[in-house]
């Protein structure tokens, strides 16, 4: 009789797997990490198509672009037999595998962790189950490892199909690439899990860690091609160790045994250390261990807040000063104040001046555009001011790094580029660095614009819902769209200025061309920002952003950036010429080498069309999203 | 309601921004007696009808409530008023303007307080208000003064330079309200203004809303909290499944649709239904004498509600008949009972 009181009607206690709480807890204690891994993998399944597609297409793209395309330029210049490879393609194959894994480590160990702790607080949900914080961390790592392994396996198969491996040991590349990805990803994960909020640290990691490590790890050329001080980066880079290990496995690159041991131990050491630290930080953060009075990032936060407060205070003082001086100097305004009709009593407004007229334009499309783009732009500037300056400036770094890496690293293999071959008049030859410099400016304009108009816009659209707030004021969708694009251009403009400065110092462009190239960079950025924002307005989750990368990477690789498209058959050339970046790169080169023609107009026209279409679609979508 | 603060006058012309693009024009409002008027208002999302042809009018200076459970169509209605949702049918006038045709113009008259605080986390508390004012095209200098006032009003002056993240829930809510007041709105739209706040924060907020009402601002609020509706609304409509179930002042609605008092009884989960029938017969018979004013019995999953003018006498009768409820409670009728009576369902699920 008393027993029955504990039985809820309708549930047969004896058969419910949830009945024995002790057994349940014990099981979770043993294999809890697997449960968390399962959850992560299930959520990855939603974008499994992207993962599979990228795993298949990435190797093919890199093989076609770098292996075959750049390979034509490199030709016999680099003697890869001494490394055991029979071609340039074979030489870079394993390195590209390791690099692509490292790149996606930069995504998989950053955003999902931020999502777990802050944006969607998934980890706190998991913590309410018997899972321990350490298991939550390990589960994520395991799931990502599975993703890497699948990627590496597919990649290796594709390499083998292209005849770019010569040793059966190549299968073990899966392990070396995975290890490389974890070695670079886990320290990052440990860092990200200490963050209280995302203030651009993700792009800092991308630009100051992943990018340099990727570019100076001997991926596209032997590390020894670089000057000594840059080789140091490679020695510390897990990517370099994974690259070298992969080369040993894929085509038996002659390497002393102790060196192989160093590679393995280095990668294992960082992975193990990173894993332990991550688990520890998760345990602390999720509250199982005392913080010992220290919150990571708290000091930096306090400093920033003091700075903001100081600036804010100055603003108030300034406005107070303005006010008092205005009061003194404007007796006639006081007179009109008195003659104004009596105002209704409003709360706490006894001291305030009358509300100024809320002014906006009427007439054509007044419902879409209220004539107040400045406010949206101004808000963006204030937000940039509140963030760390270094994040803003880090965008400068990328093109400079590319130029340094390829200019210094590839140049020993390519003496010079034939002007005829790259479609420039006048004959003669140009240096490889001068050849890629204008292209890199175009690429950096594209990247900056795309970053601002996709990641940042997506964030304000879906996560912080800033646009929704804006749309509850008298702003129209066009104000918001154009204001955001203007902000992207502002940022892009500053980056372009910086890079052009570097190019001028390096003697790679002359001042007159540089001025024109600056405007061309803004123009290219405008086109990409418009289209990027239009595309972003259709996305509903972060992972769809991967599709965007699917388009950007091949565009970067094929659009005559690092080698002329004349290395390809005519059919392929036509496809490349249809892509926007090719027009941007060619436009830049036309200006840099002062070689204008009818095609220059086509390039300009292409971007005009892009801008118009992008802006129209964006406006339409903004209206759809916010005025439903 | 005095409109002078949005009518053009010399003062305004002096402060108005000078570099505004192309042919600026101002609001020329004819005084319209209705702040908001909707007729046959309908909103469909595909096959689903969120708002099903409702008519209502909000007078100037009134505080008006939309009361209903989740998914009743309250928020959708608010979004149509705020010119951020297109109608599927019917007409809507806000201060005499059609929100769909004059989106920015209508929104310039409104202060919108959404269900969830969507404050700008990249800005400080003060910057949040200033930037929001900038979205209305208000001049920065004027905003600097106005912001100080609003911070005071929201009791946030000491937090002016803090990051939004560091504010408590109640503070965030007050900042959202302060921010919505920056354009001195004629009509304030509040979507569940106190959901998720603790009682103290909620009372501070109510106090601020009272002051606004005193000052003549038209308040339109949605809520599923009965006490909030009773506190804040002069008039309200009860909405369920996109339709209006009743309309009137809280007191009138209670008078019309419920008895003065309610007796809540618990007999234990499985006995409620059979007890209900027994109680009905018992009280019907007892009420012949007229002292109880018995109306009916509602059966809820966990308890019985006995509607009677005098719940105390009803309870005496029940005890006298030898029935022993586990718990009993006598209380006054509330809007909750009105809702239950009208829809057969309780409001908060």
* Contact criterion met (CB < 8 Å) for A308 and B6: no
Do B264 and B152 belong together in one domain?
no
Whether B346 maps to a domain, the answer reads no
From the list A460, A445, A524, A536, the residue with the least C-alpha distance to A491 is A445
pLDDT score of A311: 65
* Contact criterion met (CB < 8 Å) for A473 and B132: yes
* Contact criterion met (CB < 8 Å) for A376 and B15: no
pLDDT score of B30: 47
Report d(CA A61, CA A308) in Å as an integer: 46
Phi, psi for residue B307 in degrees, rounded to 5 = -95, 120
- Over residues A490-541, the pLDDT tens digits come to 888 888 898 999 999 988 888 899 999 999 999 999 999 999 999 988 888 7
Please say if the pLDDT value at position A419 is more than 80. no
Whether B337 maps to a domain, the answer reads no
* Contact criterion met (CB < 8 Å) for B24 and A361: yes
Residues A367-393: what's their mean pLDDT? 81
Please say if the pLDDT value at position A51 is more than 60. yes
Which chain A residue is nearest to residue B123, measuring alpha carbons?
A383
Kindly report the CATH number assigned to the domain that includes residue B297: 3.30.70.1510
Q: What percent of chain A has pLDDT over 70?
A: 83
pLDDT score of B302: 82
Do B39 and B172 belong together in one domain?
yes
Q: Which of A329, A332, A358 to mutate to test the interface with B (most CBs of B within 10 A)?
A: A358
Inform me whether the C-beta atom of residue B20 falls under 8 Å from chain A C-beta atoms: yes
* Contact criterion met (CB < 8 Å) for B137 and A474: yes
Residues 6+ apart with CB under 8 A from A284: A290, A291
Within 8 A of A468 by CB-CB distance, chain B residues are 84, 114, 118
Whether B5 maps to a domain, the answer reads no
Instruction: Give the number of other CB atoms < 10 A from CB of residue B131.
Output: 27
pLDDT score of A321: 60
Whether B297 maps to a domain, the answer reads yes
Residues 6+ apart with CB under 8 A from B126: A312, A316, B147, B151, B160, B161
From the list B178, B65, B26, the residue with the least C-alpha distance to B111 is B178
Give residues 154 to 173 of B whose Cβ lies within 8 Å of A. Answer: 160-163, 165
pLDDT score of A362: 66
Please say if the pLDDT value at position B5 is more than 60. no
pLDDT score of A331: 41
Report d(CA A211, CA A398) in Å as an integer: 7
pLDDT score of B290: 67
Within 8 A of A365 by CB-CB distance, chain B residues are none
Residues 6+ apart with CB under 8 A from B19: none
Inform me whether the C-beta atom of residue A468 falls under 8 Å from chain B C-beta atoms: yes
Of B24, B131, B146, the CB nearest to A360: B24
Select from B254, B269, B303 the last residue of a domain: B254
Maximum CA extent, chain A: 102
In angstroms, what separates the C-alpha of B257 from chain A's closest C-alpha? 36
ipTM associated with this complex: 0.74
Inform me whether the C-beta atom of residue A627 falls under 8 Å from chain B C-beta atoms: yes
* Contact criterion met (CB < 8 Å) for A355 and B1: no
Report d(CA A196, CA A182) in Å as an integer: 23
Do B133 and B238 belong together in one domain?
yes
Kindly report the CATH number assigned to the domain that includes residue B57: 3.40.50.300
Whether B2 maps to a domain, the answer reads no
* Structural domain total, chain B: 2
In angstroms, what separates the C-alpha of B171 from chain A's closest C-alpha? 18
- Whose structure tokens read 């630009």? A207
Do B183 and B312 belong together in one domain?
no
Q: Which residue has the higher pLDDT, A367 or A284?
A: A284
Strand pairing report for B218-223 and B187-191 = parallel
Yes or no: say if A517 and A435 are a contact pair by the CB < 8 Å rule.
no
Yes or no: say if A472 and A552 are a contact pair by the CB < 8 Å rule.
no
Judged on CB neighbours under 10 Å (0-12, 13-18, 19+), B92 is buried
Do B232 and B303 belong together in one domain?
no
* Helix (H) or strand (E) segment spanning residue B328: strand B327-332
Give residues 174 to 233 of B whose Cβ lies within 8 Å of A. Answer: 181, 183-184, 211-212, 214-217
Give residues 356 to 395 of A whose Cβ lies within 8 Å of B. Answer: 356-363, 366-367, 370-372, 374-376, 378-379, 382-383, 386-387
Judged on CB neighbours under 10 Å (0-12, 13-18, 19+), A16 is exposed
* Among A40-44, A84-88, A300-304, the least confident range: A300-304
Which chain B residue is nearest to residue A346, measuring alpha carbons?
B215
* Among A46-55, A343-352, B44-53, B218-227, the least confident range: A343-352
8-state DSSP, B58: E
Report d(CA B28, CA B97) in Å as an integer: 11
CA A402 to chain centre: 15
Select from B223, B238, B254 the last residue of a domain: B254
Inform me whether the C-beta atom of residue A578 falls under 8 Å from chain B C-beta atoms: no
8-state DSSP, A86: S
In angstroms, what separates the C-alpha of B149 from chain A's closest C-alpha? 6
**A359 token code pair:** 């002014």
Residues B80-100: what's their mean pLDDT? 88
Inform me whether the C-beta atom of residue B103 falls under 8 Å from chain A C-beta atoms: yes
Do B290 and B208 belong together in one domain?
no
Report d(CA B93, CA B39) in Å as an integer: 9
Inform me whether the C-beta atom of residue A345 falls under 8 Å from chain B C-beta atoms: yes
pLDDT score of A623: 79
- Over residues B31-40, the pLDDT tens digits come to 557 899 999 9
**B119 token code pair:** 């404050």
Whether B348 maps to a domain, the answer reads no
Whether B343 maps to a domain, the answer reads no
Strand pairing report for B261-266 and B327-332 = antiparallel
Of A361, A387, A626, the CB nearest to B21: A361
* Contact criterion met (CB < 8 Å) for A362 and B212: no
- Residue A334 — very low, low, confident or very high, per pLDDT cuts 50/70/90? very low
In angstroms, what separates the C-alpha of A390 from chain B's closest C-alpha? 16
- Over residues A307-327, the pLDDT tens digits come to 766 766 665 566 556 555 544
Within 8 A of A473 by CB-CB distance, chain B residues are 107-108, 132, 135-136, 183
Do B175 and B222 belong together in one domain?
yes
Residues 6+ apart with CB under 8 A from A25: A130
* Among A407-421, A553-567, B260-274, the least confident range: A407-421
Sort residue A533 into left (φ over 0), alpha (ψ -120 to 50) or beta.
alpha
Do B160 and B110 belong together in one domain?
yes
Whether B227 maps to a domain, the answer reads yes
Inform me whether the C-beta atom of residue A306 falls under 8 Å from chain B C-beta atoms: no
Which chain B residue is nearest to residue A353, measuring alpha carbons?
B142
Do B217 and B296 belong together in one domain?
no
Please say if the pLDDT value at position A341 is more than 70. no
Q: Which residue has the higher pLDDT, A14 or B340?
A: B340
Do B25 and B161 belong together in one domain?
yes
Within 8 A of B139 by CB-CB distance, chain A residues are 356
- Over residues A564-596, the pLDDT tens digits come to 888 888 888 898 899 999 999 999 999 988 888
Phi, psi for residue A312 in degrees, rounded to 5 = -60, -45
Q: What percent of chain B has pLDDT over 90?
A: 23
Strand partners, B263: B306, B330
Range of the domain at B296: 259-332
Which chain B residue is nearest to residue A349, measuring alpha carbons?
B149
* Contact criterion met (CB < 8 Å) for B148 and A349: no
Do B250 and B284 belong together in one domain?
no
Strand partners, B56: B38
Interface A-B, measured as beta-carbon pairs within 8 A, has a size of: 235
Inform me whether the C-beta atom of residue B268 falls under 8 Å from chain A C-beta atoms: no
In angstroms, what separates the C-alpha of A313 from chain B's closest C-alpha? 8
- Residue B11 — very low, low, confident or very high, per pLDDT cuts 50/70/90? very low
pLDDT score of B134: 92
* Contact criterion met (CB < 8 Å) for A475 and B84: no
Do B97 and B131 belong together in one domain?
yes
């Amino acid at each position: 009789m008393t027993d029955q009181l504990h039985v809820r009607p309708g549930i047969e206690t004896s058969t419910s797997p949830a009945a024995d709480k002790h057994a349940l807890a014990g099981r979770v204690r043993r294999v809890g990490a697997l449960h968390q891994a399962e959850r992560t993998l299930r959520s990855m399944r939603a974008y499994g198509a992207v993962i599979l597609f990228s795993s298949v297409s990435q190797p093919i793209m890199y093989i076609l672009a770098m292996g075959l395309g750049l390979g034509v330029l490199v030709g016999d210049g680099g003697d890869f037999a001494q490394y055991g490879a029979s071609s340039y393609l074979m030489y870079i194959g394993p390195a590209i595998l390791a690099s692509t894994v490292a790149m996606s480590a930069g995504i998989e160990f950053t955003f999902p962790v931020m999502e777990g702790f802050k944006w969607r607080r998934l980890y706190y949900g998991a913590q309410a189950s018997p899972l321990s914080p350490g298991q939550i961390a390990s589960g994520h790592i395991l799931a990502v490892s599975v993703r890497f392994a699948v990627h590496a396996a597919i990649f290796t198969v594709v390499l083998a199909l292209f005849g770019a491996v010569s040793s059966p040991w190549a299968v073990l590349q899966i392990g070396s690439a995975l290890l490389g990805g974890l070695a670079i990803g886990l320290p990052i994960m440990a860092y990200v899990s200490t963050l209280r909020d995302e203030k651009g640290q993700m792009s800092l990691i991308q630009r100051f860690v992943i990018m340099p490590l990727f570019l100076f790890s001997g991926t596209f050329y032997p590390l020894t091609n670089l000057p000594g001080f840059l080789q140091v980066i490679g020695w510390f880079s897990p990517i370099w160790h994974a690259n070298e290990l992969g080369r040993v496995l894929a085509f038996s690159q002659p390497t002393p045994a102790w060196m192989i041991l160093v590679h393995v131990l280095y990668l294992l050491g960082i992975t193990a250390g990173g894993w332990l630290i991550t688990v520890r930080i998760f345990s602390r953060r999720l509250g199982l261990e005392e913080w010992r009075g220290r919150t990571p990032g708290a000091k930096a936060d306090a400093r920033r807040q003091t700075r903001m407060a100081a600036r804010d205070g100055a603003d108030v003082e300034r406005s107070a000063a303005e006010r008092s001086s205005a009061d003194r100097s404007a007796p006639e305004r006081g007179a009109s104040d008195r003659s104004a009709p009596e105002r209704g009593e409003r709360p706490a407004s006894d001291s305030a001046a009358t509300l100024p007229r809320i002014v906006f334009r009427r007439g054509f499309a007044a419902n879409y555009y209220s004539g107040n783009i400045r406010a949206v732009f101004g808000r963006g500037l204030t937000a940039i001011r509140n963030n760390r300056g270094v994040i803003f400036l880090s965008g400068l770094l990328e093109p400079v790094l590319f130029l340094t890496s390829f200019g210094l690293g590839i140049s020993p293999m390519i003496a010079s580029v034939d002007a005829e071959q790259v479609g420039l008049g006048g004959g003669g030859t140009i240096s490889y660095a001068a050849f890629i410099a204008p292209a890199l400016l175009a690429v950096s304009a594209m990247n900056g614009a795309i970053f601002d108009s996709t990641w940042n816009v997506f964030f304000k659209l879906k996560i912080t819902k800033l646009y929704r707030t804006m749309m509850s004021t008298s702003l129209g969708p066009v104000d918001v769209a154009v204001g955001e694009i203007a902000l992207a251009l502002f940022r892009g403009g500053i980056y372009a200025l910086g890079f052009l400065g570097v190019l001028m110092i390096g003697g790679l462009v002359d001042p007159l061309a540089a001025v024109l190239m600056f405007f061309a960079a803004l123009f290219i950025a405008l086109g990409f920002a418009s289209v990027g924002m239009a595309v972003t307005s259709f996305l509903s989750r972060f992972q769809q952003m991967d599709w965007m990368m699917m388009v950007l990477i091949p565009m970067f690789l094929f659009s005559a950036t690092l080698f002329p498209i004349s290395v390809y058959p005519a059919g392929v050339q036509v496809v490349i010429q249809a892509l926007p970046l090719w027009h941007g790169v060619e436009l830049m080169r036309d200006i840099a080498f002062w070689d204008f023609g009818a095609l220059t107009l086509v390039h300009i026209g292409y971007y005009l069309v892009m801008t118009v279409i992008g802006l129209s679609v964006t406006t339409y979508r903004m209206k759809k999203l916010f005025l439903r | 309601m005095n409109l002078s603060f949005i009518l053009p006058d010399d003062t305004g012309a002096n402060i108005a921004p000078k570099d505004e693009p192309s042919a600026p024009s101002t609001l020329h409002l004819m005084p319209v007696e209705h702040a908001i008027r909707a007729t046959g208002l309908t909103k469909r999302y595909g096959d689903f009808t969120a708002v099903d042809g409702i008519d209502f009018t909000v007078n100037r200076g009134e505080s008006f409530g939309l009361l209903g459970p989740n998914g009743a169509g309250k928020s959708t209605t608010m979004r149509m008023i705020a010119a951020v949702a297109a109608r599927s049918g019917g007409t809507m006038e806000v201060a005499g303007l059609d929100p769909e045709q004059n989106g920015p113009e209508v929104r310039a008259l409104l202060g919108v307080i959404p269900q969830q605080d969507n404050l700008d986390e990249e800005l400080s508390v003060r910057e949040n208000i200033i930037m929001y004012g900038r979205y209305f095209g208000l001049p920065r200098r004027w905003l600097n003064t106005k912001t100080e006032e609003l911070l005071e009003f929201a009791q946030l002056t000491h937090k002016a330079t803090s990051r939004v993240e560091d504010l408590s829930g109640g503070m965030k809510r007050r900042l959202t309200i302060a921010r919505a007041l920056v354009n001195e709105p004629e009509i304030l739209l509040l979507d569940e203004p106190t959901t998720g706040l603790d009682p103290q924060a909620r009372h501070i907020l109510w106090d601020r809303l009272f002051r606004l009402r005193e000052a003549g601002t038209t308040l339109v609020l949605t809520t599923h909290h009965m006490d909030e509706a009773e506190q804040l609304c002069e008039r309200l409509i009860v909405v369920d499944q996109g339709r209006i179930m009743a309309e009137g002042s809280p007191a009138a609605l209670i008078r019309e649709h419920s008895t003065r008092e309610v007796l809540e009884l618990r007999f234990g989960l499985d006995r409620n239904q059979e007890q209900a029938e027994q109680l009905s017969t018992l009280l019907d018979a007892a009420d012949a004498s007229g002292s109880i004013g018995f109306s009916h019995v509602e059966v809820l999953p966990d308890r019985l509600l006995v509607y009677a003018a005098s719940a105390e006498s009803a309870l005496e009768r029940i005890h006298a008949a030898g029935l022993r409820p586990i718990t009993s409670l006598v209380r006054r009728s509330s809007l909750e009972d009105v809702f239950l009576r009208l829809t057969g369902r309780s409001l908060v699920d």
